[in-house]
Amino acid sequence: MKSPEHVRRVISALRKEGPDKLQVVSDFDMTLSRFGFNGRRCPTSHNILDNSQVISEEGRKKLKDLLHYYYPIEIDPNRTMEEKRPLMVEWWTRAHGLLLQQKILKRDIAKIVEESEVMLRDGVNTFFDQLHQHNIPLFIFSAGVGDILEEVLRQAKVFHPNVNVMSNYMDFDDKGVLRQFKEPLIHTYNKNGSVLEKTDHFQQLSSRTNIILLGDSMGDLSMADGVANVENILTIGFLNDKVDEQRGKYRDAYDVVLEKDETLDVVNGILCYIL
């Protein structure tokens, strides 16, 4: 923490004002899902599709090449978000273009997720269950693939009615074949008011002026920009990769930074204290 005093003050305010004033805004990939397990990377919602058997070998190779080219750019601490934005649009557009060539069927999504190596962070059930029990809205704002991440939550039995998702959704034709991705395209660095126009989620929650925000990317910090009249916000950042290079930026930007922590224990501890 850059300022433990600030964190203490915000947590006290969240506790004092209680669950009726609180909402949680979270990223999905590498925030609610695990970054790694036993020294191996876990898949993002895109990777779940990219690595699946429904993709041809050539398609899988091309998608992996894109990941190896663009991911280092995504997390490069020496480039600004303005520099990264057009390159992220390029990555997502090219990856979605490759996926469209693959005849992905809606009815195969559950199996694709079942057979993947996706893992949610330790403590994820406690996290979702606490929020559900206290009727606290959870808004998952993801640049991943909505249909896939919703299925991950469903299979983990945590997709409770208090959970809303904003993400990139697939559009299937009447035979259930993927034909395009729906607009607007959400990538790592446009998770802000510019894509939130499509939802009135935050307007409906205007009395909930206290926020806990969870993310793993610098782009996740603007996810709650659509909330009018924020009174207290606690931002918690998972620093998963290139920890030494990125530590300074993360500490300046997030109230709490969790380095290589594959659990939701800190978040659950805070929720347990304030609820």
Distance of alpha carbon 127 from alpha carbon 266, whole angstroms:
10
From 43-51, 118-126, 156-164, 261-269, give the range in contact with ligand C5P by CB under 6 A. 43-51
Backbone angles phi, psi at 33, to 5 degrees: -95, 160
Binding status of residue 116 toward ligand C5P by CB under 6 A: no
Kindly identify the residues of this chain, within the stretch 68-87, that bind ligand C5P according to CB under 6 A: 71, 74
Instruction: Output Rg (C-alpha) for the chain, integer angstroms.
Output: 18
27 is catalytic: yes
Q: What's the closest the beta carbon of residue 18 comes to ligand C5P, in angstroms?
A: 29
- Would you give the binding string for ligand C5P spanning residues 196-225, x where CB under 6 A is met? ---------------------x--------
- Give the ranges where the chain is alpha helix by DSSP (H): 4-17, 45-50, 57-74, 81-100, 109-114, 124-133, 146-155, 193-196, 201-204, 243-253, 265-274
Query: 10, 14, 25, 30: which one contacts Mg ion (CB under 5 A)?
Result: 30
The residue written with tokens 């979270």 in the block is 26
- Please tell me the count of residues contacting ligand C5P according to CB under 6 A: 18
Q: Residues 13, 231: contact at Cβ < 8 Å?
A: yes
Q: Which one, of 254, 149, 249, 165, lies nearest residue 212 by Cα?
A: 254
CB 142 within 8 A of CB 215: no
Q: Report if residue 27 touches ligand C5P, rule: CB under 6 A.
A: yes
Task: Rule CB under 5 A: choose which of 24, 27, 118, 178 binds Mg ion.
Answer: 27
Q: Which region, judged by CB under 5 A, interacts with Mg ion, from 26-34, 199-207, 229-237, 254-262?
A: 26-34
**Is 29 part of the annotated catalytic residue set?**
yes
Q: Which of 20, 27, 200, 216 is catalytic?
A: 27
Instruction: Kindly list the residues in this chain that would bind ligand C5P in the complex (CB under 6 A).
Output: 27-30, 44, 46-47, 67, 71, 74, 91-92, 95, 142-144, 188, 217
By annotation, the residues acting in catalysis are 27, 29
